[in-house]
Amino acid sequence: MLDLTGSATAVAWMMIVQFLPVAIVGPVAGVVVDRVNRRRLMIAADLVRGVLILGLLLVRRPDQVWIAYAVMALTVSASAFFEPARTATIPNITSDEELLPANALSAATWSAMLAAGASIGGLVTALAGRHIAFAINAASFFLSAYFLGLTRYDATPAIAERPEGLLALTGMSDLVEGLRYIRREPHVAALMCVKAGWGLAGGVLLLLTIFGQRVFPIGSGAAAGIGILYGARGLGAGLGPITLRWIVGQQPRMLRRTIGPAFFMVGVFYIALAGAPSLALAALCVLCAHFGGSILWVFSTVLLQLEVPDRFRGRVFAVELALVTLVTSASSYWTGYELDHVGRSPRTLSFALGVMFCVPGALWLAIQPRWRDHEPAGVAQPTTPPGEEILEGRVG
């Protein structure tokens, strides 16, 4: 988009297109995830995404960029089915004690591939052109479908009585049931908002592109600088949950108490990015910021997997993903508008976004004194003196 249009706003719209469709499709996707075989759904989503990504090979002129928007919107819509199904499946193949290591490994794998993919992708794009990178990207989805096809596990959602009638047929009754569950479980709603706070990173991801192109260019192109910054993002995201697991353990209470400081860690290092004098220090700031960001993502996911019954997981994770994409889209658009129309520098916007990350952190710390211990079933509970109430999580 930068090569064809030279516009940060065009890149911001591409960021929005990569997130916003999830907010639209997500609630319906959650109903589907809670109704069908989740393994087959993930395979189908991968095959659809692989075919769609090949459509990017058609984009060669500025007047064809609409194809890129359409391709990414449809691809992300397929992801709205894949991601909730994947997240909802993890508790079905692990014990409660294995949930944190499993999610940490999942985040580390994703982060390692992000770091390698961003770095190698930047190199491939610089040497062979973006169309080769697009072809490799499409092939990766087909490879994912192949690996999923080799797995064998019970991927059918928990059986639940379903109402009859037109609303049940369209899935609206299931959607309303899921929203009612979220409304009556305020601790679940609060955990769902953690990733929404992290959605402010949408503007940051746009800034990484602009930093790589305008602030720390390498040679005559932007791909290498962008690749290094995105690679640092992936490395930090992989180190965060694995390192913190050994420090704080995996008791739900400790995971919950770590979320607030993690928001401040993200904010502080994006404020530091605003003053970074070199690409190496900028990459270090990005690494540390996403170290904290991955803690937010993994710890909130584990806590939700422990708390939410299997029959609701697809809908809960789909709505959570929709919230993330709404905030991410708004953050991306605001950042692009400030860059192109107001004339803000990327350093100023990095500082502003860093300050914004401190707001959800402060809100999370503020609600902690009011948070009654709500340990999931299966987690060891301390002995409670007579007369004090124990609230147990309802785990499917």
CA distance 349 to 207: 8
With CA atoms as reference, report the closest residue to 176 among 21, 303, 312. Answer: 312
The pLDDT, as a whole number, for residue 379 is 42
The pLDDT, as a whole number, for residue 382 is 38
The pLDDT, as a whole number, for residue 372 is 59
Distant-in-sequence, close-in-space partners of 33: CB < 8 Å, separation ≥ 6: 41, 81, 84, 85, 88, 157, 313, 314, 315, 317, 318
- The sign of the torsion formed by the CA atoms of 125, 127, 132, 138 equals negative
With CA atoms as reference, report the closest residue to 10 among 380, 337, 370, 395. Answer: 337
The type of residue at 350 is S
The 10 Å CB-count burial string (b at 16+, else e) for 329-351 is bbbbbbbbebbeeeeeebeebbb
With CA atoms as reference, report the closest residue to 118 among 242, 320, 290, 272. Answer: 290
Q: Count of alpha carbons within 13 Å of 69, Cβ hemisphere only?
A: 13
What are the extents of the domains in the chain?
A: 2-150+166-370
The type of residue at 217 is P
Q: Count of alpha carbons within 13 Å of 164, Cβ hemisphere only?
A: 0
Per-residue pLDDT of the chain (396 residues; tens, 9 = 90+): 777 887 777 877 887 787 778 878 877 888 888 888 999 999 999 999 999 999 999 988 888 888 999 999 999 999 989 988 998 888 888 888 888 888 888 877 877 777 777 778 878 888 888 889 899 989 999 999 999 999 888 877 766 555 554 445 445 667 777 778 888 888 888 888 898 888 877 788 788 888 887 888 776 666 677 778 888 887 887 777 777 666 666 678 888 888 999 999 999 999 999 998 988 899 999 999 988 888 888 888 888 888 888 888 888 888 888 888 888 878 888 888 888 888 888 899 999 999 999 999 999 988 887 775 554 444 434 333 333 333 333 333
CA distance 175 to 65: 35
CA distance 244 to 77: 33
CA distance 223 to 210: 11
With CA atoms as reference, report the closest residue to 153 among 224, 91, 207. Answer: 91
Evaluate whether 4 touches 62 at the Cβ level (below 8 Å). Answer: yes
Distant-in-sequence, close-in-space partners of 97: CB < 8 Å, separation ≥ 6: 250
Q: How many residues does the chain have?
A: 396
The pLDDT, as a whole number, for residue 93 is 86
CA distance 190 to 47: 34
Q: Where are the alpha helices (DSSP H) in 129-216?
A: 130-150, 166-170, 172-184, 186-198, 201-210
2-150+166-370: CATH homologous superfamily? MFS general substrate transporter like domains (1.20.1250.20)
The pLDDT, as a whole number, for residue 380 is 39
Evaluate whether 241 touches 299 at the Cβ level (below 8 Å). Answer: yes
